[in-house]
Structure 1
Amino acid sequence: MEPTVHPFSELFAQLGLPNDAAGIRGFIASHAPLPEDVRLEEAPFWSPAQAQLLREERIEDADWAIVVDQLNLALRAPT
């Protein structure tokens, strides 16, 4: 069975964030760069529920882990 590929926008929807292109760009621009010593799910801008979702998806669901890793990389890139 082929793994499901989730678009970036679906992760943002799961997190309860604007998930259109402008909303995603705005979120990343306002929170990047995330310091290297801060784990993605421990960033101060997440609610407890969002942090838990990121933690669980990264550990438990390989399909979502890819997109969570993409978010991690996007937030670490200099703006």
Structure 2
Amino acid sequence: MEAHLHTMSNLFAQLGLPADPTAIDDFISAHRPLGSGVALYRAPFWTATQRAFLKEEIIEDADWAGVIDELNARLS
């Protein structure tokens, strides 16, 4: 089975957030830096649904994991 590569815009749309590049940059600027040792899915700015999605995708190393890791790096 071929893995799908998701973009940052796809991830933000999946999370129900504005997904255009400016909105993504604004979100990251508003929420960084993520405290050291804080798992991305535990950040206080996520809804319960967003948190569950992020946690599940990372734990399962699903096809969203790469772009979630990228978001984590950009928030650090």
What range describes the TM-score normalised by the shorter chain of this pair? over 0.9
- Tell me the residue number matched to 1:6: 6
1:1-79 alignment, distance < 5 Å: 1-76=1-76
Deviation at 1:60, TM superposition (A): 2.2
Structure 2 letter corresponding to 1:36: S
Question: Secondary structure at the residue paired with 1:70?
Answer: helix
CA distance in 2, matches of 1:14, 1:21: 15
User: What are the ranges of 5 or more consecutive residues in structure 1 without an aligned counterpart?
Assistant: none
Number of residue pairs matched by the alignment: 76
* Greater helix share, structure number: 1
CA distance in 2, matches of 1:60, 1:37: 20
Q: TM-score, normalised by structure 2?
A: 0.93
Structure 1 letter corresponding to 2:66: I
Q: TM-score, normalised by structure 1?
A: 0.89
List, as ranges, runs of 4+ consecutive aligned residues in structure 1 with deviation greater than 2 Å: none
